[in-house]
Every structure is written in C-alpha cells, then in structure tokens.
Structure 1
Amino acid sequence: MTRENGDSAEPGSADATTGLLGDATAESLGDASMAVATAETRTEMASMALSDAREAAESVPDLDAVATRLDAYESRLASITDRRDELADDLGALVECERVSDAGDEAVTDRRRLAADAAAVHGAADELSTDLESFERWLTDPETRYSELEADIDAVEESLADLTATVEAVAAGRPAEGSDGDGDGVGAAWADARLRHRVVGLLLDDSRAELADLRTWADREDPGGDRLVELDDRLDDLDTRTSEVGDRLDDLARPEWEERFGGHLGAFEDETADLEPPLDWADVHAAFETHRPATDPGES
C-alpha cells in the first residue's frame, strides 16, 4: 500500500516487513506478502461477483437449476475464503519467525511455499469470478440458457452414439479394449455398456429437469416458444433410443456375464437409485469408476 506524509504501513505489508527484517530477507518476504495481498483482493472481487449473481437470481431462487448453481458457487467461495485466511495467518507467523531468528534455507522454502499458495488462491478466485460472470449471463439471457441446455443434449446424444457402437461391437463378439479377447472380454464390454446406459439415463433425467425449470422460468418472464419445444422433442427422441439400446443389452446378456458382473451392475444401480436432479456429476463419475468392471478376465 502506498504511504503518504510518512504514515505507517499496514501490518504484513512489504514496507512494514522491511522495517523488521534485513533488506535481502525483506525483499523476498515482501514478494510473498504482495502475493498474499493480491490473493485477498481477488477473493474479495469473487465475493462481489457472487453478490451480483445473487441479485440477478432474486426473481427465481426457487428453481433448482438456479439454487443448485448458487450453492456450488457459494461453496467454492467459502473454500477460497478459508484458504485466504490461512495465507494471512501463515504470513504473520513467517514474519514473526524471521523477526526473532536468522532466516535459513527452511525460511526461504517457507516464503516460496507461501507465495505459491497465494498464487493458487489468486487463480482459484479469478476462475470463480469468470464462472460467476458466465453464470450471470445465464441468469439474465434466455438464449444463453437454451444454448447451454442444447449443448448438454448434444453431449447426451454423443454419449448415446458411442454406447450404441459398443453394443454393436458386443453383438459382433468383439471384446472390450484392453481385454484378452475371449468371451469374458466381450462380457466386460457388455457390463461396461450396461453401466454407461445407466449414466445416459441419468444425463437424460438431468436434462429433463433443467428443461422443466427453463419452461417454468419462461412462463414467468420470457416465453421460450419453439426453442423449448425443439429441445423437448430431442429429449423424447433420445429417451426412445436409449430404451432401445437397453432392450438390446438385455437381449445380448448371457448367464455367465450376469453371474460375473452382476455385483458391479447392481452396486452401481443401488448407489445411483436415489439420485435426483440436479445431479452431482462428480459423485456419479466416482461411482461409475468404482463399479466399472475390469477388462482383464484375470481380474475381479
């Protein structure tokens, strides 16, 4: 902070540090101090961006599509704020330690670590601010909301196309990639497809819930017209195609595959049975990776 008329600098600032420590140490610690100060500033900017987003969402806080996003951003800000507070504590402890003792290699490492931690908080805060700016555009512009949902539906369609290709490979007796190429390899591909089929269903449920919220929102503020109808029709088509793929997987099932992989499939089904949109996709992905069967027939 710039001083005028000989006023004292704030505690923890580069100028205050120089008064306590030798010039060489103070210069290094001053860099860390400035990094901490920048992280604090960027965190405050992210907080203001979240306040702006809350204000933009005042008319629709009851919609899950809005509330879930706000909750996620608030959690991210809380985490960044906690890390910012830890930086201030670490800086104060480092200043006090170097004031009363000689600064050795360990102190140099501590200063560098503090500067790196501050840079990480700075980056996280900037990323949150950018995401919140995008969120505010989503809140204020119906076209942005429809375009983002359309992109989500595009992703579901792509996932379904990949799944359909896997099912055709299973029908042709081609094993899962990385397997030994025997019957169990084909069975692993079938089991993997069953899990992915469940994920596609969850994606469709999530998109349906989002569309319902956007329709409610449009009824209140901005009639979506043909755009919402088109998105609804696409989801209907994907529902039908997904059901057909599920039926094909059932037809392809063999008793030995069901015996070997049934535990994986049942556990994943149980773990995702009670999930309701909007979904936490990090949790879904973690469950998928946990229960995905091994492709090597020698593995369990």
Structure 2
Amino acid sequence: MLHLRSLTHLVTLAERLNFARAAEDLGLSQSALSRSIQALERQLGMTLFDRDRSGVALTPQGARAVARAAILLADAEDCERELTLNASADAGRVRFGMAPMPARALLPAVVAERLRVAPEAVNEVVVRDGDALWALLLTGEIEFFVCNEGFAFDTPTPRVERLGLFPLSAIVRAGHPLLHGDCPGATFPVLRSSWTGVPLPREIGERMECAPNVIEDFGSLAAITAASDAIWFSSSYAALPELADGSLCQLPHREPRHVGVSLYSLERRSPSPLARSLKQLLRARIRALTRAQDGEAVAASPV
C-alpha cells in the first residue's frame, strides 16, 4: 500500500528536481530521500526519475505518478482540514470564486455577515468569468465558485447546486428616451459583463447600435449607464443601490426573464464547513433579494 509520506517525497522531488533542495524542504537527509524514492520505485516497479550528471528529470511514468499523487495529497489535506475543524465553520480559510454579476449582488452582504459571526474565518474571493473560474476549480486553486447557469464546462462533470434565480433587466439612466416612448428606429449602446452562456434578449438586440461593450467592473457599468444613453443588460439585483436612489431605472419588459445562479464544485471534493456555511448565507441573501423585489413590485402596483 502506498503511504502519503512516500507520495509527499515524490511530489516534492518532482517540484525541485534536486535531491538536496527537496530533502531540505522535507527536513530529511539527502540519503534518506534517495532511499525513499528508490523504495517507491521498487514498490511500483517503474523508474520515476532519471538521474545523471546533468541532474534529475521525471520519466513519463513518473510524471503520471506525480499527477495522481498530487490529487491524493490534496484530498488528504482536505480530509485533515475537515476533521481538524470538526464540522465547525467558525475558523479556517476558504478560497472561492464568483462571477462578476453575483459578486456585485451577493458578496458585500454575505462576507459582511461572515465577518460579524466568524471573525477568525478567512475568506479569499476571486472574481472572474465562468470559464476562468472553472479552470481555477480544476487546478484546486478554489474550492467552489458561484456563476450563472448556461456556461459550457469540460469533464469532469461538476457538482451543481442551484442557489436561486436572478431577474434579467434592461437598465438605463433616469430620463432615458426609452422611458418616455418606444423611439422607433433609435439605437443605443449596450453594456454587459461577459455572462458566459446568457444571450441578449431580442428587445435589447433590436435596440443595439453595435456589438455589446463588455465590462466586468459593475461599479463602472453603473456609472457609465448613469452618464450615457447606454442600455445595461444586467440584473436588478446587481444595481439595487442605483435603482433605489433613482439614478438608474429598469425598462419595461415584455415578459419576465430569469437566469439560474448556481454553486459549482468538484464531485470528488467534500465541501469544507466554511463552504457549507457560505452556501447557506448565499441562499439566504438571494431569498432576501427576492422578497425585497416582490415587496417593491407590490408597492408599485395599483391599489
């Protein structure tokens, strides 16, 4: 049976490709590391490293062994972390990703709540589009990410947990010409974030001057919309402060549109206690946004 200690020696030597430096990293003597690697090669029945006067190099078989060993070691680290925390979400570190739109709508309230109830928990958040987040998930750089549904992913198939629905809106500045009439034949610039997999609605496409301007910073999107005649394709959830103060408005839409927002993780990775806690907070925040929007809709409707 393979031992994690031997796999740690293998991966460390593969990273350094130098017995002396790898041994120093591991706190071993060079001879002890050499014996460990030789024993592992005998156990597996293959040469993992070529050694000559020019240095140390991985063999093709060694490269495959290192790739599998790195996954096993990462899983072991996850297991140790979860056992150490003993199912507590009050401490530890979690690194996760969010697409720009849900980050704008959810992140401030969710992280503020985490800081309030668990000040010892460290949150590291990467904001990218769905394709970039998927790549980070596969390499283990993030534990999960939150993104709209609809982007295409490669194997392996992820674990997908829907958090809720976000309304899709055409957002414009106060006083925009389209708020006062249909403006037949008029076209306008269109703004959006990348929103991989979410097409523009037809009524926005019909009004578009040229290809959409893609900007990932939502503060800039809101400011540009307020200062121009652009139509911002977004969600009202991502523009709540500006809609509330009246600087931005939603155009009437022919029929309500929504996009699902989900949490993506790898099936082979058990969620950490912090990840489970964050998932609950994200769902609660979306429910709060939905209730707020429904309340506004009721208040604005005729009595």
- TM-score of the alignment, normalized to the shorter chain, above 0.5: no
More strand as a share of residues: 2
More helix as a share of residues: 1
Using CA pairs under 8 Å that are at least 6 residues apart, name the structure with larger relative contact order, 1 or 2: 2
- When Rg is computed on C-alpha atoms for both structures, the one with the higher figure is 1
